[in-house]
């Protein structure tokens, strides 16, 4: 029965996928974005980014992505709130970590991971990638380090709750400041510009730099990608710090509240 | 690329999409373990994302070689741009899927923490056992 259902749905979608499932006018929207994203002949509408996806994510639909970042921020805050008693404390277990061989190998590989992540963030407007992907790659480094070196080892060396939260707040403030930076600049110059404006429009000539050393820099996209990378990296590390805490630490959250939910 | 091969890959993707959908909905409903429920939910999210990206790969003209929506020529002429617009896949579903993945990850992070909380409180992640424990603790029923 389920098999027949799956097969019939497949048949319908397969024919539709090659035929008329999305109507043909949908292609007009795609053509618009593809044509304008890096079109030096229409400089009033371009995003100065050869990568169309990043141009849509942070320029043409930038506000969507801003609120998406806010949702992620809220989810991490909610996760920390559930363990608010223990989130600020150091772990009481003194783990020795794994063997010396694993520790040395991890130390080398971690540098490579962070390098790849940072280059993904910096090249987000040139090649596939961007701030969020870079943050997800970079968050693997602290995760592996917590497992290999032990949580307390890293906490004694400065990977603390407060610092990660500050980094995260700083990065989100950076996103906010970047979005109104051009607006403020235009006001000081006595002109007028839109919030979230990247390149100059026909109504407002102000523009973020389009090129850095004759490579397209995507203007606002570069800043957004770097700040988003830092925000996602810090957010994930915060959650890993809680999820990988020892049993003794996490049980302290429930002291005195054994009865009922 | 060979048109038959493209058709076959489309068929394979669509079949796996529906199989994944069926399996993950079964997992969310039928598995009593909360961690397995979260895993099934993640598979459901990713299946939906793959379907959205697949819509962007719709063959607009048979025999046309498709390419990712990334312009490799940094000083494009109008011919290069026309070629790019003709051949490139739809970037809009990919951008929306990126948003969906981030939101899905936020939900997963939150659900994982809640599950850890429940595990520390009740000592189990099985919803059947948790339901029984709650009735015993809160309503003091004896079952």
pLDDT of residue A4: 82
Please report how many Cα atoms fall inside a 13 Å half-sphere around the Cα of residue A56, on the Cβ side: 23
Asked if B18 and A9 come within 8 Å (Cβ–Cβ), the reply is yes
Confidence of residue B59 (pLDDT cuts 50, 70, 90): low
Which tokens in the block code for residue A51? 């990568």
The secondary structure of B76-135 as a DSSP string is --HHHHHHHHHHBPPHHHHHHHHHHHHHHHHHHHHHHHHHHHHHHHHS--BHHHHHHHHH
For Cα atoms A153, A154, A157, give the angle at the middle one, nearest 5 degrees: 95
- CA-to-CA distance for A240 and A143, rounded, in angstroms? 7
pLDDT of residue B16: 86
Give the DSSP letter of residue A219. T
Q: Which of A37, A79, A128 sits opposite B113 (nearest CB)?
A: A79
Asked if A75 and B84 come within 8 Å (Cβ–Cβ), the reply is no
**Which residues from chain B sit within 8 angstroms of residue A32, using beta carbons?**
none
Asked if A30 and B15 come within 8 Å (Cβ–Cβ), the reply is no
- CA-to-CA distance for A81 and A79, rounded, in angstroms? 5
**Collapsing DSSP states into helix, strand and coil, what is residue A18?**
helix
pLDDT of residue B142: 61
Nearest one of A255, A239, A234 to A76, comparing CA atoms:
A239
Confidence of residue B41 (pLDDT cuts 50, 70, 90): very high
Evaluate whether residue B97 is within a structural domain.
yes
Evaluate whether residue B60 is within a structural domain.
yes
Nearest one of A79, A238, A99, A85 to A159, comparing CA atoms:
A238
Evaluate whether residue B57 is within a structural domain.
yes
How many helices and strands (H and E) does chain A possess? 12, 2
Asked if A68 and B117 come within 8 Å (Cβ–Cβ), the reply is no
Mutate: best of A15, A34, A139, A168, partner B, most B CBs <10 A:
A34
User: Number of structural domains, chain B?
Assistant: 1
Task: Tell me the pLDDT tens digit for each residue of A113-167.
Answer: 999 999 988 888 888 888 888 998 999 998 998 888 888 888 788 778 888 888 8
Nearest one of A46, A45, A116, A91 to A249, comparing CA atoms:
A91
Beta-bridge partner residues of A216 = A211
**Collapsing DSSP states into helix, strand and coil, what is residue A212?**
strand
Evaluate whether residue B35 is within a structural domain.
yes
pLDDT exceeds 60 at position B1: no
Better-predicted residue by pLDDT, A232 or A32: A232
Q: What percent of chain B has pLDDT over 90?
A: 13
**Which residues from chain B sit within 8 angstroms of residue A240, using beta carbons?**
none
pLDDT exceeds 60 at position B56: yes
pLDDT of residue A261: 47
Answer whether A54's CB lies under 8 Å from A216's CB.
Answer: no
Give the DSSP letter of residue A252. G
User: A98-107, B29-38, B62-71: which range is least confident on average?
Assistant: B62-71
Asked if B99 and A64 come within 8 Å (Cβ–Cβ), the reply is yes
Better-predicted residue by pLDDT, B35 or B78: B35
**Collapsing DSSP states into helix, strand and coil, what is residue A128?**
coil
Handedness of CA B41, B45, B46, B50 (dihedral sign): positive
Which tokens in the block code for residue B94? 């990919």
For Cα atoms A111, A112, A116, give the angle at the middle one, nearest 5 degrees: 120
Q: What percent of chain A has pLDDT over 70?
A: 92
B78 by Cβ neighbours in 10 Å (0-12 / 13-18 / 19+) ranks as exposed
For the ranges A56-65, B82-91, B133-142, the one whose mean pLDDT is highest = A56-65
For A215, the enclosing helix (H) or strand (E) is strand A215-216
Span B108-135, mean pLDDT? 86
Phi and psi at residue B126, to the nearest 5°: -85, 120
**Which residues from chain B sit within 8 angstroms of residue A13, using beta carbons?**
14, 17-18
Task: Tell me the pLDDT tens digit for each residue of A12-39.
Answer: 776 655 555 556 667 777 778 887 778 7
Exposure string (b/e) for B92-128, b if CB count within 10 Å is 16 or more? bbbbbbbbbbbbbbbbbbbbbbebbbbebbbeebbee
Task: State the residue range of the domain holding B126.
Answer: 3-138
* CATH number of the domain residue B12 falls in: 1.10.287.3510
Evaluate whether residue B127 is within a structural domain.
yes
ipTM above 0.90, yes or no: no
Query: What does DSSP say about strands A211-212 and A215-216: parallel, antiparallel, or unpaired?
Result: antiparallel
- CA-to-CA distance for A227 and A122, rounded, in angstroms? 10
Alpha-carbon Rg of chain A, whole angstroms? 23
Evaluate whether residue B28 is within a structural domain.
yes
Evaluate whether residue B143 is within a structural domain.
no
The secondary structure of A80-101 as a DSSP string is HHHTHHHHTSPPS-----S-HH
């Amino acid at each position: 029965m389920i098999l027949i259902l799956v097969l019939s749905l497949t048949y319908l979608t397969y024919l539709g996928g090659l035929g008329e499932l999305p109507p043909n006018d949908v292609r007009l929207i795609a053509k618009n974005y593809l044509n304008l994203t890096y079109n030096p002949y229409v400089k009033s509408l371009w995003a100065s980014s050869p990568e169309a996806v990043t141009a849509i994510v942070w320029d043409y639909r930038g506000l969507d992505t801003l609120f998406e970042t806010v949702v992620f921020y809220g989810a991490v805050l909610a996760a920390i709130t559930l363990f608010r008693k223990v989130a600020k404390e150091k772990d009481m277990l003194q783990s020795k970590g794994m063997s010396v061989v694993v520790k040395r190998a991890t130390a080398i590989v971690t540098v490579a991971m962070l390098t790849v992540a940072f280059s993904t963030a910096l090249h987000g407007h040139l090649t596939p990638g961007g701030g969020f992907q870079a943050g997800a790659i970079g968050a693997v480094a602290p995760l592996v380090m917590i497992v290999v070196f032990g949580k307390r080892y890293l906490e004694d060396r400065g990977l603390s709750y407060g610092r990660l939260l500050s980094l995260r707040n700083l990065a989100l403030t950076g996103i906010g400041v970047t979005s109104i930076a051009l607006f403020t600049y235009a006001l000081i110059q006595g002109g007028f510009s839109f919030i979230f404006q990247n390149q100059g429009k026909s109504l407002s000539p102000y523009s973020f730099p389009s090129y850095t050393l004759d490579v397209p820099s995507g203007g606002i996209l570069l800043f957004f990608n770097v700040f988003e990378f830092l925000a996602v990296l810090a957010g994930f590390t915060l959650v890993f710090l809680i999820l990988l805490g020892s049993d003794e630490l996490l049980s302290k959250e429930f002291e005195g509240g054994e009865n009922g939910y | 690329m060979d048109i038959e091969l493209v058709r076959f890959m489309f068929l394979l993707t669509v079949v796996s999409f529906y199989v994944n959908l069926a399996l993950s909905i079964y997992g969310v409903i039928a598995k009593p373990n909360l961690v397995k429920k979260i895993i099934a939910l993640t598979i459901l999210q990713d299946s939906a994302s793959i379907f959205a990206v697949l819509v962007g790969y719709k063959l607009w003209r048979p025999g046309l070689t498709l390419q990712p929506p990334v312009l490799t020529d940094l000083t494009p002429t109008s011919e290069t741009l026309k070629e790019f617009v003709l051949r490139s896949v739809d970037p809009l579903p990919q951008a929306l899927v990126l948003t969906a993945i981030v939101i899905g990850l936020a939900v997963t992070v939150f659900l994982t923490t809640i599950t850890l909380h429940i595990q520390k409180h009740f000592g189990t992640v099985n919803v059947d056992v948790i339901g029984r424990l709650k009735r015993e603790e809160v309503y003091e029923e004896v079952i």
